[in-house]
Structures are given as structure tokens and as C-alpha cells.
Amino acid sequence: MSTTNTYESISNENRKFPPAASFAANAHIGSMESYRKEYNKSIEDPHAYWAEVAEDLHWFKPWDSVLDDSSQPFYKWFDGSRTNLSYNCLDRHVAEGRGDKTAILWEGEPGDKRVLTYADLLSEVSRFANVLKRLGAHKGDRVAIYLPMIPELAVALLACARIGAVHSVIFAGFSSDSIRDRVLDSQTSLVITADGGYRRGKILELKKIVDAGVQDCACVHHVLVVERGGDEAIDCPMQNERDVFYNNVSAKVDAVCPAEEMEAEDLLFLLYTSGTTGKPKGIMHTTAGYQVFSYLTAKYTFDLQSDDVYWCTADVGWITGHTYIVYGILQNCTTQVMYEGAPNSPDEGRFWEIIENYKVSIFYTAPTAIRAFMKWGDDWVTKKDLSSLRLLGTVGEPINPEAWMWYHTVIGAERCPIVDTWWQTETGGHMLTPLPGATPTKPGCATLPFFGIDADVLNDDGESVEAGILAIKKPWPGMMRGIYGDTQRYESAYWSKWGGQYYFPGDGARVDEDGYIWILGRVDDVVNVSGHRIGTAELESVFVEHAAVAESAVVGVPHEIKGQGLIAFVTVIEGQACSDNLRNQLVAMVDKSIGKFARPERILFSSDLPKTRSGKIMRRLLRDIAEGRELGNTSTLADPSIVENLQLQFQQGN
Ligand code: WT7
């Protein structure tokens, strides 16, 4: 666990910030008594609790049972029901007279703007759904989505949900190779992309990246291309038959498309994420449970009110965007800002300008972004009017108390509660989080479990301890239902830790005197770089592809802005040179296989890696080296001189 720094700083943290009385007075959950009352109800009688929540939504057919836990860990929620998530995000609001409410206030990086009401969104989504049907997409087919942060990204997800196609969104920072792996693993028949998108003033030519990715994928019948370019022509080669411009087809289809009646456990989406092996996992989420959980967590964690303007800065390519840009937020009929580009384009004031212009009231971002804002300086912030803000949120990694305090003081003007939300791709929605009108917050702490979440900190034997491993002891509606095509990995990665009883998220945690849970970081070989999850094994398998490389071990280390960075230790085959040239080639391989965001901070070469006599790489020692710590116990090493050499090399900055 490379969490020493976080652990030290948070273990001395005892400041406490109760919500302001004025915030609590109008909040959905306005006191700790009401949190506890509702929480107890949700744990004691989950069936009654979740049934009552689900009543807020539309069902074509009601459920027979709320939770079927007869086949653990293959749980079923709302079994027997029929529903549609796109219907609950759109049609329900239009039918109930809320069609004129603004859904999306979109701004492109170059400054172009679009506004869509819920009624507009319904017709865009219906049209898009009809285009998908025209291209042969059916219920159950997998559709990959590789788009910039334009309204069509949200529209594409909803259109898939509408016809029952399974979306698999691939974040537009992933490489061609990553697209290929995901498309093949899920046997995707249709890929939706754009000619390009804007990032820091530059055009990203997305269609070309897709072309390279799918060139040998026989399963892909069509590539549907949204034209983002506008006036500026983006180079976008098209292949006859296979490739289709969205606008050419959309003009020929109807803007009405009835929502498919989906079964509760029909697959809604796949989202690939990293684990402890070299192969990313296609996390499966299904319809009804995810629908209810995303709806309720969004409503309570963000205390959504009818006049809020919400803004989540994540990309829809990650789970945060799926749940808290698309499904959770739209089900609550909230107005939101969606922004395409970077926070420092054209300058470091862009985010604060957006908040001022759109009068954003709820702002949800990541610790890594907050640390970058701190570095850029307060002037960018104080020049703007941020008085519309009433609530702040953070997600993605543990937030250090210093960044929390800056967020609280400089962005929140000491007025806005901060919700530090702990959750995962696998959990579908918030698991540990303050409720802003109730929970007194502590800097760096995700505080208490959400309704229905039975969280505990356990040791390896499954006993409750003060510091150990986070466990979730009961199923919840938003939980993953499996790994696509790999049932065995689902059971072994998530359910084998405590004899199949409890869900194992892979995070270390500590409980304090108030029962608050502090997340300490991953306990497995997964590293969190700027909130992006990267398996060290994924990078290692990239490096060993190189003919000159014999072996590699990658570890995570604390990083000032990114939270964690990656340090790679690489051994070369005898007779091969450890040159800068080789280093550059290895970096280029990371770019190609995963994406630039997975680049290591440093690559160190050596003749061997520290190993036990039985040949096991001692990662603990590599972490000691990479974090500049004294070496731990080296007595079990086969050859202690290796680690000493590496340490010297690291200190010399090689
Ligand atoms: C891992 C999940 C949830 C959407 C973004 C990341 C870490 C996430 C927090 C937080 C401490 C956090 C955990 C978790 N994490 N939020 N508030 N405090 N750690 O989703 O890629 O599935 O990663 O991110 O380590 O296991 P993800």
C-alpha cells in the first residue's frame, strides 16, 4: 500500500465542519437524526426501503421481488419488472410537464454553446436511437462509444439505453490498441465516434484513432461518425459501406422512438477498468438496480433541488460521468453544465468563468484538479464571482486535507459543504459520502455509508478492526453484476477475500472515534493516477513486449498533483543497451497500448530486480526505493546488492 503520506496527514486530522443551519433547513436530509433514521431503515429492511425509492420512477411492469439473493454473489434486483432508463431520464419528465426545463448547458472548448431542454434531449435521443436501429443495432448488441465531451456523448448513451443496446464507452484519451482490445472482448458491432474534439486548443482526430483500432476487428459492421468540426474541417477519412456520417442518416429518420421495455437484469452497459492483471475488465451494470441507485445517490448526495445548476467536470468516459452526468442527474431532472475541454484553456480561469457565467450551484471535481488549481494560484479564482455555489464535491482518490481546506476556503468561501464521495466503477454510485445537510465533514474523509450500504473495516480473517480493509457486507442495487465473459474472475477478484461473503473493493481504510471511515488507498496492485485507475501489471506487460526487455515491475508512488505516479523498473536482456532511446521507445509503447495518461514518471534500468530466493519480486522494496524511504527488511533477498544499486541509481536521478 503506498499510502504512507496520506495516512500520516489524515491521522492527525481532527477538524470538523458541520453544515450551516441555512443549508440544513432546506436539505432533503437535514440532520444526523434523519440520516440515522433513514439509514437504519435501509439496513434493517432493504426490501421495503428500496421499493419505496423505486416508486418515484416509471415501471412498465412492477417487480416481483426487490432483491433475490438466492444465488450469491449473483444478485438480482427488482426481478420481474420492466423499465427503461432513457424513459426515466427523459419521457417521464416530458410527460409530467417538465419538458421545457433546461437539461444541458453545453460549452465547447473553443467557446461554442448549445442549450438542450429535456424535450429537446428526448427528440435528439429518439432520433439517435432510430439511427442506431437503421444501422442494425438491436437489443443486447454491444455498441462502443468514443466521443469528445459533446452533447452527442450523453445522447448516444441514452439512445443505446432506449433501444436496449449495451453501451461500452471508451474514454477518448485511450489509444487505438485499447479500442481494439475492448471492441474484441465485447464483440462490438457498431462504434460511435466523431471526426474530432478540442483539447487545449488542439484538435484530437478521433476518427483516425478509431480506424487504427478497428481495422482488424471483423465484428465491427459500422462506424457512425458525428461531425464535431463545424467550420474548421477535421481530417476524417471514411471507408465506404462501413462508415456513416450521423447527419446523413439522422435527416432520414423520425424523432420519435418508443423506449424498449427492458427486463430488470438486462445488461445496460459495460465499462472497462483496470485490475491486478494485464487485462482490463468489462464491468457489467444492469438496468433496474443501477437505475434506482443512480437516481437516489444523485438526489441525496448532491441534495438536488429544482433550481440547481449542477456541474461535474469528469468525462462521460469514466463511471463518474455515466452516473453523475447522465443517468443519476437526468433522472432527477436537474439542469447541468457540460464542458468539452481543459481547465486551463485558453487560461487557468476557465472553470471559474464557467461557474460565474452559468451560475453553477453544485460543483463536482477531482482532488488532482483541485491540487492543480492550488498550484495555479488563488488569483484566477478570486477575480470571478463564485457566489452561486452552494455545494462542492470530490471523487476519484483520497483528498489530502490541505487540498480539502483550500477547496473549502478559496472555492467554497467557507460556506459550501464538501461531499467527498468514495465509490468505484464496480459500485455504480456513491458508497461512502457525507450528506451535505446532515453530516459534519472532516478534511480528507469520505465519512459514512450511504443508505443501504453496510460498510465495515476488516482484517484478513473478517473481523472488524480499526485499520484494515474496507468491506461491503450486503448487496446494494447499483452493484456490478459481473465481468463480461469472465464469471470466474468476478468471483475471485471481488468475492473470494472473505469466503464469498462480502464484497472486496480493494481499498484500505480506518475507522475513527465517530465511526467515520477514512479511505487510505488501494491495497492491491492498482495505482490511481489523477483519478485514472491503472494496473501495474498492464504497464509491465507493455514493457515486456519490447525485444530488449527481460522483466519489469511497476509501482505507484505519491505525486504532488496526480495523487499517485508510476515508477517503472525494467531489466534488459544481456547485451542490450539501457539508453534514453530505449526509454523513449518504452514510453511510446505505453502511449500506443494504453494512452498518454498512463506514462510512468520514471523508468529505471537494472540488470535484475530484487527477488526472494524463491524468485518472487519484492515490490515492497521497490516502493521503498521509489518513495525515497529507508529499505525495509532485505534479509530474504537472493542478492541484496541489486536493491542497493537500484537505490543509488534512483537517488542519482538516472
Ligand atoms: C477507486 C475506484 C468513483 C469514480 C472515480 C474512480 C479510489 C475513488 C475516492 C474517494 C478515496 C477514492 C478508490 C477506489 N477512490 N473515490 N473519494 N476517496 N479514494 O473510479 O476508476 O473505479 O476507481 O478510486 O481507490 O477503489 P474507479
Q: What is the pLDDT of residues 110-145, one digit of tens each?
A: 999 999 999 999 999 999 999 999 999 999 999 999
Query: Could you tell me which residues are beta bridge partners of residue 617?
Result: 611
Q: Across residues 158-171, what is the average pLDDT?
A: 98
Is the CB of residue 178 less than 8 Å from the CB of residue 589? no
Q: What is the distance in A from the centroid of ligand 1 to the CA of 531?
A: 7
- Percent of the chain predicted with pLDDT > 70: 98
Question: Distance, CA 38 to ligand 1 centroid (Å)?
Answer: 25
Rounded Cα gap, residues 488 and 465, in angstroms: 29
Task: Please provide the average confidence, as pLDDT, over all residues in the chain.
Answer: 95
Confidence at residue 612, expressed as pLDDT on a 0 to 100 scale: 87
Cα 398 to averaged position of ligand 1 atoms, centre (Å):
8
Query: What is the per-residue pLDDT for 84?
Result: 99
Whether residue 522 has its Cβ less than 6 Å from ligand 1? yes
pLDDT number for residue 231: 65
Whether the predicted pLDDT of 633 surpasses 90: no
Q: What is the pLDDT of residue 578?
A: 86
- Residue 577, pLDDT score: 84
pLDDT at 356 over 60: yes
CB atoms within 10 A of CB 37: 12
Please indicate, yes or no, if residue 607 is contained in any of the structural domains: yes
Q: Is pLDDT above 60 for 4?
A: no
Establish if 640 belongs to a structural domain. yes
Residue 582 lies in a domain: yes
Average pLDDT over residues 159-183: 97
Q: What DSSP assignment string belongs to 448-514?
A: SBPTT--EEEE-TTS-B-SEEEEEE-S--TT---EETT-HHHHHHHHSTTTTTSSB--SEEEEE-TT
pLDDT at residue 616, as a whole number: 87
Q: Probe ligand 1: pick from 169, 320, 423, max atoms within 8 Å of CB?
A: 423
CA of 187 to the centre of ligand 1 (A): 28
Q: To the nearest 10°, the Cα dihedral for 350, 352, 355, 359?
A: -130
On whether residue 596 sits in a domain, the answer given is yes
pLDDT for 5 equals 47
pLDDT tens digit sequence for 71-87: 999 999 999 999 999 99
Confidence of residue 400 (pLDDT cuts 50, 70, 90): very high
- Atom of ligand 1 at shortest distance to CA of 426? 22
Q: How much is the pTM?
A: 0.95
Q: What is the mean pLDDT of residues 491-512?
A: 96
Residue 544 is assigned to a structural domain of this protein: yes
Residue 632's domain spans which residues? 521-651
Q: What is the structure's pLDDT at 639?
A: 87
pLDDT digits (tens, 9 = 90+) for 449-477: 999 999 999 999 999 999 999 999 999 99
- The answer on pLDDT for 390 being more than 70 is yes
Q: Please tell me the residue having the least CA distance from ligand 1 atom 6.
A: 396
pLDDT of residue 245: 96
Residue 334 alpha carbon to ligand 1 centre in Å: 24
**In this structure, which residue's CA is closest to atom 13 in ligand 1?**
397
* 423 in contact with ligand 1, CB cutoff 6 A: yes
Kindly give the distance from the C-alpha atom of residue 244 to the centroid of ligand 1, in angstroms, as a whole number.
Answer: 37
The response to whether residue 243 sits with its C-beta less than 6 Å from ligand 1 reads: no
Q: Is the CB of residue 51 less than 8 Å from the CB of residue 66?
A: yes
CB of 446 shorter than 6 A to ligand 1: yes
- pLDDT tier at 10 (50, 70, 90 boundaries)? low
Say how many Å lie between the CA of residue 224 and the centre of ligand 1. 32
Task: State in Å: Cα 201 to ligand 1 middle.
Answer: 29
Band of pLDDT at residue 328, cut at 50, 70 and 90: very high
pLDDT (0 to 100) of residue 9: 57
The residue among 277, 288, 273 whose CA lies nearest residue 320 is: 273
Would you say the C-alpha torsion 347, 324, 485, 142 has a positive or negative sign?
negative
Compute the distance from residue 460 Cα to the ligand 1 centre, in Å. Answer: 22
Which of the listed residues 479, 528, 529, 534 should we mutate to test ligand 1's pocket, taking the one with most ligand atoms within 8 A of CB? Answer: 528
How many whole angstroms from 523 Cα to the centroid of ligand 1? 13
Which residue has the CA at smallest separation from atom 19 of ligand 1? 397
* 384 within domain boundaries: no
Q: Which SS3 state, helix, strand or coil, does residue 364 take?
A: strand
pLDDT in tens, 581-597: 999 999 999 999 999 99
Q: Are 277 and 537 in contact, with CB atoms under 8 Å apart?
A: yes
Task: Determine whether the shortest distance from the Cβ of 273 to ligand 1 is under 6 A.
Answer: yes
- With the C-alpha atoms ordered 17, 18, 24, 27, is the resulting torsion angle positive or negative? positive
SS3 398: coil
Give residue 333 CA to ligand 1 midpoint distance, Å. Answer: 26
Query: Residue 326, Cα to own-chain centre: how many angstroms?
Result: 13
Question: pLDDT at position 232, please?
Answer: 73
Calculate how far, in angstroms, residue 383's C-alpha sits from the geometric centre of ligand 1.
32
Task: Quickly state the pLDDT bin for 631 (edges 50, 70, 90).
Answer: confident
Distance (Å, rounded) from C-alpha 395 to C-alpha 432?
11
CA atoms within 13 A on the CB side of 108: 19
Share of the chain above pLDDT 90, in %: 88
Q: What is the mean pLDDT of residues 226-233?
A: 81
Atom of ligand 1 minimally distant from the CA of 446: 17
Mean pLDDT score, 27-45: 98
Query: Is residue 267 within 8 Å of residue 260, measured between CB atoms?
Result: no
Cα 156 to its chain centre, rounded Å, is 18
Would you give the DSSP letter of residue 154?
A: H
Q: Which of 9, 315, 365, 397 to mutate to test the pocket of ligand 1 (most atoms within 8 A of CB)?
A: 397
Strand ranges in 249-300 using DSSP code E only, listed in sequence order = 262-263, 267-273, 281-286
- Is 319 a pocket residue for ligand 1 (Cβ < 6 Å)? yes
Does residue 393 have its Cβ closer than 6 Å to ligand 1? no
Q: Determine if ligand 1 sits within 6 Å of the CB of residue 506.
A: yes
pLDDT of 279 higher than 50: yes
Q: Whose CA is nearest to atom 5 of ligand 1?
A: 396
Q: Is the pLDDT of residue 215 over 90?
A: yes
* SS3 of residue 333 by DSSP: coil
pLDDT at 345 exceeding the cut of 90 = yes
Instruction: Identify the CATH number of the domain in which residue 557 sits.
Output: 3.30.300.30
3 pLDDT above the threshold of 80 = no
Q: How many domains does one find in the chain?
A: 1
CB of 1 closer than 6 A to ligand 1?
no
Q: What is the model's pLDDT at position 2?
A: 39
Residue closest via CA to ligand 1's atom 14 equals: 424
pLDDT for 538 beyond 50: yes
Q: What confidence tens digit (pLDDT) does each residue in 39-59 have?
A: 999 999 999 999 999 999 999
pLDDT of 531 strictly over 90: no
